[in-house]
Amino acid sequence: MLIRPLASAIALGCLSLPALANDTSAVLTTGGLDFVQHGDISMESEELFISMDEIRVTYTFKNNSDTDQDVLVAFPMPEIVPNPFSPVSYPTGPADNLFEFQTTFNGQPVDAELHEYAYSAGVDRTKLVRQLDLPIVPFTDEAMSATDALSEEDKANLLYLGMVIPDEYDAGQGWEKHFWPSWSYRATYTWNATFPAGETVTVEHRYKPSVGGTVGVSMLAEPSDGYDPGAEYRERYCTDDGFRSAVRKTLNDPKDLWSAPFTESWISYILTTGGNWAGGSIGKFRLVVDKGSVDNLVSFCGDDIKKIGPTTFEMVKTDFFPEDEINVLILVRQEDQ
C-alpha cells in the first residue's frame, strides 16, 4: 500500500509527474471496456519506470491453472483534459498511436488495438464528436480549427454540453471570439493473449507520458476563494515541510511566492487495475522515478524510498496491493531565471 509520508531527505531531491495505467484483463461490452478479475493468472512482479520522457513497465504473469488461458488484455491510458491556457505537454505520436505505445509478449511485438472515447462532464460524447466530423483528440491544431469552423448552432450546443471553451481577445484587428475543444480524451489499448498452463510470461510496455504542468510554482501560493494549493499538493504529492522549504530557498524574491526558478510537471500512473489478477496483489513491485536533471526537484507519495542515482529514486514492495494512483510532481529548473 502507498503510504502518504515522504522522507524530507528524499523530497529535497525529488519532483512529481501526472499518471498512466496497469495491465488488466477485460471484456468488451456494448458500452466499451469492462474490466474483470481473472482468478487463474497472478502478477508475480512489476517493474515501473516513470520519467517525463518515457513510461516503461515490465510484468511477469503466471498461469496457475492446468489449462491455457486466452485473455483479452487491456491497458487504459490516462484521461487527458485539454487546457489551451496551461503549458501541458501532450503526447505527439501519430493519430493511430498517439502515445507511441509499444508492447511485447515474451519478447515478441504485439499489435494492440486502440479504443478512443470523448467525454464531457462524465458523459460519453464520442458519437456526437464523430457525427460532427471532429477529431476525437481535442488538443491538436486540427481539432481546434475544426471546432472553430462549426456552425454557430453546433458551437452553441457544444458550449451547452461543456465541450468547448469560449475565448475572446483582440490580436490587433478588433475583438475575436473562438471556441476551443474541451472534451476529455480517453484511450485503451487491447489485445488477445494466451497464457500457457503453469508457465510464466513477460509483458513489457513503453510509451510517451502525458505531462501536465504550470509555468510557475503554484504550490506555495496562499489559500484563496476556498482553494488551498498547499493542502492539495501535500495530499496529492506528499510535499512535506522539507520539500516546501527547499523550494522557498530558491525564490528570487522572498516576498513573491511565484518567483521560484521552476516550472511544474505532473505525471500520474493508475495502479489500481493491477489488482484484477489472481490474489489481487503483485508479488514484487519496484518503482523507479527519474526527475530528469540533478537541478530538478521531485516529490511523490510512498515509503522506504531510496535515492539510487543522481536523478533516480526507488521504492520496492512485496505482496503489494495497489490501492491508489502514483502522482509525481517534478519541478523543472529554468536556466534563465
Query: What CATH number is given to the structural domain containing 114?
Result: 2.60.40.3680
- What three-state secondary structure class fits 232? helix
Helix residue spans in the chain (DSSP H): 8-11, 126-131, 141-148, 152-160, 229-237, 241-248
- 130 lies in some domain: no
Task: Give the pLDDT confidence score for residue 31 in this predicted structure.
Answer: 45
Task: Give the CA angle between residues 91, 92, 93 to the nearest 5°.
Answer: 105
pLDDT score for 6 = 34
57: pLDDT strictly greater than 80: yes
Do 177 and 188 fall into the same domain? no
Domain boundary among 162, 181, 200: 181
> Is residue 73 domain-shared with residue 16, that is, in the same domain?
yes
Residues 87, 99: one domain? yes
- CA distance linking residue 46 with residue 173, whole number of Å: 56
**Domain-located, residue 2:** no
CA distance 116 to 186: 6
Is residue 21 located within the same domain as residue 112? yes
Q: Based on the domain organization, do 173 and 65 belong to the same domain? A: no
Rounded CA gap, 174 and 95, in Å? 35
d(CA 26, CA 73): 6
Report d(CA 98, CA 190) in Å as an integer.
Answer: 15
- CA 320 – CA 204 distance, rounded (Å): 19
What pLDDT, in 10s, does the model give residues 273-329? 655 666 667 889 999 999 999 999 999 999 899 999 999 999 999 988 877 788 999
Does the structure show a pLDDT above 80 at 113? Answer: yes
Which of the listed residues 144, 160, 181 is the one where a domain comes to its end?
181
The answer to whether 240 and 248 are in contact (CB under 8 A) is no
Q: What is the mean pLDDT of residues 117-137?
A: 96
Number of structural domains in the chain: 2
User: Which residue reads 465541450 in cell numbers?
Assistant: 163
For residue 213, tell me if it sits in a domain.
yes
Position 5 scores a pLDDT of 32
| 115 and 139, same domain (yes or no) | no
CB-CB contact of 137 with 95 (8 Å): yes
- Asked if residue 336 has pLDDT above 80, the reply is no
The answer to whether residue 164 sits within a structural domain is: yes
Tell me, what's the pLDDT at 271?
A: 75
Question: Does some domain include residue 3?
Answer: no
**Residue 302 within a domain:** yes
Whether residue 315 contacts residue 302, with contact meaning beta carbons closer than 8 Å, is answered with yes
Same domain, 141 and 257: no
* Domain end marker among 150, 165, 181: 181
Q: What is the DSSP letter of 174?
A: S
Q: Which residue has the higher pLDDT, 52 or 280?
A: 52
Domain identity same for 234 and 298: yes
Q: Which of 283, 308, 209 is nearest to 46 (CA)?
A: 283
Q: Are residues 211 and 156 in the same domain?
A: no
Q: Is 267 exposed, middle or buried (0-12, 13-18, 19+ CB in 10 A)?
A: buried
Q: Are 188 and 177 contained in the same domain?
A: no
Contacts of 213 (CB under 8 A, 6+ apart): 86, 87, 88, 89, 263, 264, 265, 266
Percent of the chain surpassing pLDDT 90: 48
Does residue 1 sit within a domain? Answer: no
Q: Could you tell me which residue, 94 or 304, shows the higher pLDDT?
A: 304
Are residues 162 and 188 both part of a single domain?
Answer: no
Higher pLDDT, 10 or 139: 139
Q: What proportion of the chain, given as a percentage, has pLDDT over 70?
A: 84
Is there a single domain that holds both residue 57 and residue 187?
yes
Range of the domain at 282: 8-125+183-333
Residue 193 has pLDDT above 60, yes or no: yes
- Quote the pLDDT of residue 277: 62
